[in-house]
Structure 1
């Protein structure tokens, strides 16, 4: 009976995997179709814009009377070109629930992975995310620019083997970074030249648009931004670091580094809402 239950479960998961992959293939085909259609429309728009530029250039040499006579037609044509401006394609993929993944991950759960004692309350991150400056409370009252900075914290412990899972609540923040990294701070400075051996998921909001990406790989993840808790799973022995949308029980992204050689610690940076 036990063998039958496991066989039935394996068959169910295989069928779910097949449906998941087939759906992703269909979504990919549809996105490619939309991108090709957009490419054609952009080419047409570029041609129309060049034609309009040529007409406007010729207008500059018209007599004033002729210019006034043709002005209404030219304005209508200009408005028509602007109205036909191609809209960007949003290549968003469906976040699929993976049966049993959270139950499996919770077997490796780490309680209180982030240490309050090792928190830095003010953090400045460069645009390329390669340079970070931290400030502590004892440095004095923060300046006006520091008040808008981020809250960052390292893990209470570092890992050099085994499998470990923890969750971070990002409900009230639009901008955040979380994952694992080698803690390269020293006791004599609050400046970190660069994160070493780091695997991060990065959420940012610009012009009311959200994006998920890797900091060190210019790769945007076209899935919905998690609105609750994000799960981080470090499988050190098999060199995998994965991120999960807890509310959906779905995978966001997995790193597969060729090797791991450092003590890795959890890291989180929560920005202003």
Structure 2
């Protein structure tokens, strides 16, 4: 049964791997045997993640790209493919901007959409084309609880996470016939930089925690099992699915 979840011999590209959820996913994939290409917005950004993986006996390397820049994302795809076949793509890189909808700056809207949706689609397209040729591959997008609801003062982020859920299903519809599984993980409320403002808001923090049946916020490591499952042979007949890892939030 252990071999069902083994990623030995696979190479994974994980965006947003410098810290938080992306780092936890990269470490988990490496622990399962994958060679992990960790990406972040700067050359030094993934150094800590690569160090964690190699210290544990895994294999990892780092690449950099500004996910808001289409040309940079294109270059990232080419650099990754130059290292060899990529069997697993995890689109975890993301950004958020908070402002009331009536005051939301359009430049921030475009940046959030570029990072959270455009970059994920372009990387999926470029790496997916090669996966189609090999008739095998796994793509994991990072959705959100805001793939289901509207949120407050984060209209661009909400739109992007609804979109990433739709892109996940659209790609699964086209690529399942090529033995490519495209799924998404929808994290609940996790302790990351993106949720720092919510964690610091005593009233909101308490209200959120009260609604979570697990009675706690998630830790990045809580995504490890879901990521390995969706990246491994254990999920070969799972496609177009949005897997909520939320401590029961959606069930409440």
TM-score (norm: length of structure 2): 0.25
TM-score (norm: length of structure 1): 0.24
Bigger Rg over Cα: 1
